């Protein structure tokens, strides 16, 4: 794309020797010696700088084919945990381990109710038993999928700066059934809805969601309490210093790791997306059936009208009576 845009402005014909460059994030800066780079004065110098950088990029791209087979495209990148999470079917214990989901808090802060989910301790830190985490996470994904399949709404609450993107992405995956809270959950969102949203919205909108997923439950105790008051099921990432009973479906894992939160939110939202797609198909089928039944009804009405005009109604009535 860049080469085509640049070609519009250069006078001489210049064809790139290789295929379009995909290399990004490299230091495509120009000459490292600052004295040899005077400040840019006019448009030609800008174009010159752009072309020089493009040349460098393409040079690196050309020689990459002779280098390592482990390139940026083939290796795992940090942004993959957000944009390419594992599906519920392909979730493994090693993926959770790689994300650091097994690292709990200090042993002195261990909540006694968490002991069943603790594997042990090492270096003064509680290690979470991922053999419990995996089936509990799978159960949570089944819940989200079934809920979404029946048209339920899911709210992803991730109030730390690191978790904001994960919550937003998870909500996006679920389409119209997904919502997110990236900053503070305002106390009274559910219990003081009239004041928060106003009369008109409360009367026309379904305020209560069908499920709330907490990526950091200990920082959202207000929200958990409100959900409990309104009997809304909750899923939460429970760390070793948290009582697992505060949420309905606990997922024992590290709540401080961004990668873990992205993985869990991703897995849940992919299951939610599957359910949402099923719900959408179901809605479309319903619409089709409704339209067909409406058409049939319309046809029967029209034929009845026509027959009435011809005076056949009386005869049909008598015939039906005879049949009875």
| Cβ nearer to another protein, comparing 75 with 186 | 186
Q: How far is the CB of 161 from another protein (least distance, A)?
A: 12
Q: How far is the CB of 167 from another protein (least distance, A)?
A: 10
| Cβ nearer to another protein, comparing 51 with 134 | 51
| Cβ nearer to another protein, comparing 122 with 291 | 291
Write b or e for each residue in 100-139: b if 16 or more Cβ atoms lie within 10 A of its Cβ, otherwise e: ebbbbbebeebbeebeebbeeeeeebbbbbbebbbebbbe
- With the CA atoms of 235, 240, 245 and 251 taken in that order, what torsion angle do they form, in degrees rounded to the nearest 10? 30
Q: Write the burial class of residue 88 (CB in 10 Å: 0-12 exposed, 13-18 middle, 19+ buried).
A: buried
Q: Which residues bind another protein (CB under 8 A)?
A: 1-2, 5-6, 9, 24, 28-30, 34, 37-41, 43, 46-47, 49-50, 53-54, 57, 150-153, 155, 168, 171-172, 176-183, 185-186, 189, 196-197, 204-207, 209, 279, 282-283, 286, 289-290, 293, 324
- With the CA atoms of 109, 115, 118 and 123 taken in that order, what torsion angle do they form, in degrees rounded to the nearest 10? 40
Of 105, 109, 114, nearest in space to 132 by CA: 114
| Cβ nearer to another protein, comparing 5 with 309 | 5
| Cβ nearer to another protein, comparing 25 with 124 | 25
Beta carbons of 31 and 53 less than 8 angstroms apart = no
Q: How far is the CB of 125 from another protein (least distance, A)?
A: 34
**CA gap 232, 229 in Å, rounded:** 8
Q: How far is the CB of 292 from another protein (least distance, A)?
A: 9
| Cβ nearer to another protein, comparing 10 with 312 | 10
Q: How far is the CB of 121 from another protein (least distance, A)?
A: 37
Q: How far is the CB of 279 from another protein (least distance, A)?
A: 8
Structure tokens at 90: 């392909």
**CA gap 190, 202 in Å, rounded:** 10
DSSP 68: -
């Amino acid at each position: 794309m860049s080469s085509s845009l640049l070609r519009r402005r250069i006078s001489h014909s210049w064809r790139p020797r290789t295929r379009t460059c995909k290399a990004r994030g490299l230091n495509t800066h120009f000459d490292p010696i600052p004295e040899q780079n005077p400040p840019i004065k006019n448009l030609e110098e800008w174009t010159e700088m752009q072309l020089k950088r493009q040349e460098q990029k393409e040079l690196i791209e050309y020689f990459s084919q002779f280098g390592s087979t482990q390139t940026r495209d083939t290796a795992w990148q940090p942004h993959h945990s957000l944009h390419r999470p594992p599906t519920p079917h392909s979730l493994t214990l090693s993926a959770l381990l790689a994300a650091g989901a097994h690292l709990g808090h200090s042993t002195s802060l261990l909540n006694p109710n968490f002991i069943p989910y603790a594997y042990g301790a090492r270096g003064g830190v509680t290690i979470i038993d991922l053999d419990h985490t995996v089936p509990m996470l799978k159960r949570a994904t089944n819940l989200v999928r079934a809920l979404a399949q029946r048209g339920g709404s899911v709210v992803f609450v991730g109030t730390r700066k690191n978790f904001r993107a994960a919550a937003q992405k998870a909500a996006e995956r679920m389409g119209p059934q997904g919502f997110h809270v990236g900053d503070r959950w305002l106390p009274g969102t559910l219990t003081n809805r009239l004041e928060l949203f106003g009369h008109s919205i409360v009367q026309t909108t379904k305020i209560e969601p069908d499920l709330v997923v907490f990526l950091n439950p200990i920082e959202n105790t207000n929200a958990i309490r409100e959900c409990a008051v309104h009997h809304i099921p909750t899923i939460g990432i429970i760390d070793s210093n948290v009582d697992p009973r505060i949420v309905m479906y606990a997922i024992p894992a590290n709540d401080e790791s961004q990668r873990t939160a992205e993985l869990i939110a991703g897995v849940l939202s992919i299951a939610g997306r599957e359910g949402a797609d099923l719900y959408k198909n179901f809605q479309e089928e319903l619409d089709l059936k409704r339209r067909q039944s409406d058409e049939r009804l319309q046809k029967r009405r029209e034929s009845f009208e026509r027959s009435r005009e011809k005076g056949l109604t009386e005869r049909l009535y008598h015939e039906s009576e005879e049949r009875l």
